[in-house]
A = this chain, B = another copy of it.
C-alpha cells in the first residue's frame, strides 16, 4: 500500500475543508459599509480556523513524510482525524453567527480538543507500524509535547469560557502561535539520518 494516495486524499480533504469554510461568509445585501459589520465576526473566526487547519496540514505533511509502512490502523486513524477536522467549518460558522457566544466557544474548544487527540492517535498508529530511529523518535516526542500542551490549553479554554470567552479566545491564539513557530526537530532528525 503506497502512501502517496493517502497524502493525496488527505490533501484533497484538507484543501476542501479550508476552502468551503469561506462559503459560510454569506454575501450581505446592499453595498453600504455598515453591511460588512456582521461579516467581521465570520472573518475573524474564518481566519482562526484557517490557521488551525493550516497547522494540521503542515504537521500531517511532516508526520507522513517520516512514514515508510502504511498499516490499516494508520488509514483509519487518518480518516478519524479528517472526520473531526471536517466538522470545523460547521462549528466555526455557528460561533461566528452568534458572535462568539459562550456555548459556541465551548463547542469550538471541545472540537479542537478532539482533533488534537485524533492527531495524537494518528501519531501512535504511525509509531506502531514504523520502527523509528532514535533521532526521529526524539523529534516525535517534541511534537507530542506540543500536542499535550495544546490539549491542556483547550481543556482550560473550555473551563475558562464559563468565566470569560475572551480568555478562551486568547488561549486559541496562543496555541496557534506555539505551532506556527517552526519545529526544527523532525527536519533535523531527517537530515541527520
Residues on A lying within 8 angstroms of B by beta carbon are 1-2, 5, 7-9, 11-20, 22-25, 27-33, 36, 47, 50-51, 54, 57-58, 61-62, 65, 72, 75-76, 79, 82-83, 86-87, 89-90, 93-94, 97-98, 101-104, 107, 180, 182, 187
Contact = CB atoms under 8 A, between A and B. Distances in A.
Contact of A103 (B32, B82, B90): B32
A83 B43 CA distance: 11
B103 A79 contact: no
How many copies of this chain sit in the oligomeric assembly?
Answer: 4
A5 B86 contact: no
10 contacts: A7-B8, A22-B89, A22-B90, A27-B93, A28-B94, A31-B101, A36-B107, A50-B79, A51-B79, A58-B72
Pick the most buried of A15, A16, A22, A97: most chain B CB atoms within 10 A of its CB: A15
Given A1-B61, A1-B187, A31-B101, A15 B22 contact: no
A42 to B, nearest CB: 9
A120 to B, nearest CB: 20
B54 A79 contact: yes
Nearest to A58: B75
Contact of A20 (B23, B28, B75, B180): B23
Given A50-B83, A79-B54, A20 B27 contact: no
A80 B5 CA distance: 21
A180 B76 contact: yes
B86 A31 contact: no
A2 B11 CA distance: 14
Given A58-B75, A103-B33, A5 B2 contact: no
A15 B86 CA distance: 11
